[in-house]
Amino acid sequence: MDLQKVRKYFLSKPHTVEDIPFRIPVPVFKVADKMFGLINIHEPDRESINLKYPKDKIYDLRSAFDEIQPGYHMNKDNWNTVYLDGQLDEDFIFELIDISYDLVFKSLTKKKQKEMSEIVVKSL
């Protein structure tokens, strides 16, 4: 799967901001200053992204797919590294991005969620 397509999908999520907060140029995608994904550069010959996943289901997901491993340089209980080398269906990768985004969005305060939802409605 093409990294530019993945980047574009990250940025299509409401209120998403791309940032490069580390000393190395790793694109990080945030909603309300909370990270929900990043594009890895540690293996230039094998493209991958890091995504959050529900803690109670994360090990089942890793067991089901060789392309999903514990998150590189991340909390292994909450983050996965997802390899984009063509073994996983594109729609499934987008679904994993959606899950990561939703987890982070739902972790925001109810007040912040409401403010952000109102902004989306007003822009429509």
Render pLDDT for 99-123 as a digit per residue (tens, 0 to 9).
999 999 999 999 998 888 876 555 5
Residue pLDDT, tens place only, 78-87: 999 999 987 8
Provide the domain count of the chain: 1
Tell me the residue range of the domain where 115 lies.
Answer: 3-123
Question: Which CATH number covers residue 113?
Answer: 3.90.1150.30
Residues 13 and 101 sit within 8 Å (Cβ to Cβ): yes
Assign 28 to helix, strand or coil. Answer: strand
Question: Is pTM, for the whole model, over 0.85?
Answer: yes
Q: What are the angstrom distances between the C-alpha of 82 and each of 10, 39, 46, 109, 111?
A: 14, 10, 10, 28, 32
Torsional sign, CA 1, 38, 93, 110: negative
